[in-house]
Structure 1
């Protein structure tokens, strides 16, 4: 899994270098597709249950999984687009060099947060008695091969490919290590951009003031 993540991040770097707009569009399409699927499944389940007294037993589980995928994938997109809300009222009072240092510290905390959740074993170098993380968690489910509670493969799929009845948990949890790796990568990107002066903060700030400034003439007109 580590090798897969490294390859994916490498491909992402190359794609962003040559086709930055297409990468943004692809990320937005993934989030839109996840949200649309959640909405469609939920709507169909309500109609089936209350209109025809039937339904799909795995509807709730798949909506929970897709919602988790949307959150995990959306975390990195939010960092990339500075969409995460943040309170910067205090650090705005600091001198410019101190403000930049605080912004860099925030980005560094984001990197450490994602890396620790991804794999915490490296903290043992600093004397911390800890291990595990998303990679360890996913790898355990991959080796065990247990299935989800309600989400099952169609019978024709089971017969055609000889798979087990229930969808494996490692498939459902695949976005956990990938999402955290993307978050760490985007936080690292933000750190570099702040260092170079290409952006101020990793989070959204003063968006209300910007909107007011942009639309202050609307009421006058």
Structure 2
């Protein structure tokens, strides 16, 4: 079980690090092209914006998994253990409901671009709307179409060619990230319910690190 979790961590960390590295490389290349060659990479800005969106959205779910989001626990620490656990369950339930709503909204926004039916219902899905007109022909503004994605022309664009990549590609992160966020909150809820944790965020990490540093300094003295 631990190996599987470690492998998942490595995959997520690698994807996030790759996005950050690619953003830096593309931005640097565009600066070099502009100031040294008086040219411009037309698609660099749009690609960087999309990669930043992927980075933030995937990072949000990973931070929930690692309990790395910021939180204020001054009042929580003053409560008895039972009440603290109850408050944590209430908090994670609110987060889980909100994540489910985000997941529905993300799917409904992305699905037409992929020629898939969005859900019906205002707050929570009650079915699928097969009458919604697809929008698979929508393209991004600047990023050119690449050969490995040509299969999408048949899959979602009725065989018509794309000049730019379809919007279904960069916007795919919306349902993926919201699904991961929902799963992370569900895992956090399970840990709190089983008594393995009493809060959503890690407590006093800075103070713990400072104590470790002081202890190490004391050993050297």
Smaller-chain TM-score bracket: 0.7 to 0.9
In the alignment, is the contact (CA less than 8 A) between 1:85 and 1:205 conserved in 2? no
Picking from 139, 142, 151, the partner of 2:111 is 139
* Residues 135-185 of structure 1: CA deviation (Å, up to 9, x unaligned): 111012222120011112259987xx8731011111110010110010000
Q: Determine if the alignment matches structure 1 residue 68 to structure 2 residue 59.
A: no
1:151 match = 143
Equivalence map 1:1-221=2 (5 Å): 19-119=4-104, 133-142=105-114, 143-145=134-136, 146-153=138-145, 163-220=161-218, 221=220
- Bigger helix share: 1
Q: State how many pairs are aligned.
A: 191
1:4 match = none
Query: What's the TM-score once normalised by structure 2's chain length?
Result: 0.80
What CA RMSD, in Å, does the superposition of the two structures yield over aligned residues?
2.1
Q: Quick one: distance in 2 between partners of 1:97 and 1:199?
A: 12
Query: What's the TM-score once normalised by structure 1's chain length?
Result: 0.80
SS of 1:174's equivalent in the other structure is helix
Unaligned runs of 5+ in 1: 1-15, 120-132
In the alignment, is the contact (CA less than 8 A) between 2:146 and 2:165 conserved in 1? no
2:124 match = none
Unaligned runs of 5+ in 2: 115-133, 154-159
